[in-house]
Amino acid sequence: MLADYAVRAEDSQGRRHPEPAHPYRTAFQRDRDRVIHSRAFRRLEAKTQVFTRRFSDHFRNRLTHTIEVAQISRTIAGQLGLNVDLVEALALVHDIGHPPFGHAGEKALDGAMRAHGDFFDHNLHALRIVEDFEQRYAAFRGLNLTFEVREGIIKHSRDYSAAEFPHLSEYLLDQRPPLEAQLIDLTDEIAYDTADLDDGYEAHILSLEQIRAGLPLFELFYREADRAYADAPDKLKFNEALKGMLNRLVTDLITNTSRRIHNAGIGSLDAVRAHAQRLAAFSAQVDEERRQAKQFLYQNLYYSRELEPEKVDAERVVGELFDHWMAHPEALPGNYREKAASEPLQRVVCDYIAGMTDPYILQQHEKFCR
């Protein structure tokens, strides 16, 4: 039961290399399956989300975070009558371009690139992975994903100007992406705002008192849980409060997006694309609550003293290996040495490092930088 503003698989703008239709899977189901079967997807298991494995095996990594984003996205997409298969493919692929060591790794890699007049962007890197680096099929390089999935990879979290990124012009940069792609950045944030509170609490970096005092939204649901389950252990009341928060964010995103679609009189995918703003959005009040949660996490978790050593390590490991391969390109693996003949060396080194898992980059650092 797709809404009239949803993306329909049969109307897909297609793949770079045309392929016959599959007998029982739609184009977007195939794309989702191709992502799941890719190497880059499997590597997410060994990439940091916020906490490295040093803390606990119970915490999220990029793969389990990705699965949580997919779960939340499917629920919301189903309620809005969007194409759930496309949404799932986009959710599963949304973090595939992330380097090792979470945001610290990303910052370090971007910093190293900027020293060479270049930059690192995880969406653009994700596109390079699915278009080129993944090699599974005899007939073409990359995963040969549909236009809509590639467009979503680029446009889900930000806009790119055609003037600055002429090589992306095929992705209709002057138009909004379909709602299926618009959702992903918001569901990503719902997933990590709640999950990082959970992991931060389990890691004893955030205390219950601190979260209750600093986050009115959490406090609201914690008090409710405390009334309903006065004798329950704190952690279970904590879980109930998180569940309340998650539910509020999800429900608001569904109802507010639905209201915006209705108020704007949107009745087709073309109208979604042509609309001046993105239609997927929280209400003003819940958006403010979301902003508070995010700010709380930045102040008390992401920039905490406890996570500082991980960040320092990440920047040192990424920075030193980058410099090593820039000075010794002959030490790169053969396929990267070949690439360096046709692309700037810093881009090749960046691609190599960005693909690594946390354990692998540490092993490489041990080997080359000790």
Distance CA 226, CA 239 (A): 11
CB closer to Mg ion, 6 vs 92: 92
The residues, any chain, with a CB within 8 Å of residue 325's CB and separated by 6 or more, are 331, 332, 349, 352, 353
* Contact region with Mg ion (CB under 5 A), list: 92-100, 230-238, 314-322, 350-358: 92-100
User: Least distance in Å: CB of 8 to Mg ion?
Assistant: 27
Distance CA 337, CA 358 (A): 23
Distance CA 255, CA 234 (A): 31
Q: Which residues pair with 48 in a beta bridge?
A: 61
The residues, any chain, with a CB within 8 Å of residue 54's CB and separated by 6 or more, are 310
User: Least distance in Å: CB of 264 to Mg ion?
Assistant: 28
CB closer to Mg ion, 104 vs 269: 104
CB closer to Mg ion, 188 vs 193: 188
User: Least distance in Å: CB of 157 to Mg ion?
Assistant: 9
Q: Which two three-digit tokens encode residue 370? A: 């000790």
What are the φ/ψ torsions at residue 291 (nearest 5 degrees)? -65, -40
Q: Which residues pair with 61 in a beta bridge?
A: 48
Distance CA 247, CA 190 (A): 10
Among 188, 193, 315, 351, interactor with Mg ion by CB under 5 A:
188
Q: Which two three-digit tokens encode residue 133? A: 């680096």
Q: Which two three-digit tokens encode residue 217? A: 């939204």
* Contact region with Mg ion (CB under 5 A), list: 182-190, 292-300, 308-316, 337-345: 182-190
The residues, any chain, with a CB within 8 Å of residue 178's CB and separated by 6 or more, are 6, 7, 86, 148, 151, 152, 269, 272, 273
* Contact region with Mg ion (CB under 5 A), list: 87-95, 133-141, 194-202, 315-323: 87-95
User: Least distance in Å: CB of 188 to Mg ion?
Assistant: 4
Distance CA 251, CA 72 (A): 11
Report 94-123 residues binding Mg ion (CB under 5 A). Answer: 95
User: Least distance in Å: CB of 88 to Mg ion?
Assistant: 14
User: Least distance in Å: CB of 351 to Mg ion?
Assistant: 20
**What SS3 class is residue 146?**
strand
* Contact region with Mg ion (CB under 5 A), list: 4-12, 184-192, 206-214, 242-250: 184-192
Contact flag: residue 68 with Mg ion (CB under 5 A): no
CB closer to Mg ion, 95 vs 240: 95
* Contact region with Mg ion (CB under 5 A), list: 76-84, 90-98, 310-318, 326-334: 90-98
User: Least distance in Å: CB of 95 to Mg ion?
Assistant: 4
CB closer to Mg ion, 49 vs 83: 49
Report 116-175 residues binding Mg ion (CB under 5 A). Answer: none
- Binding-site size for Mg ion (CB under 5 A) equals 2
H or E stretch at 367: helix 358-368
Binding residues for Mg ion, rule: CB under 5 A, are: 95, 188
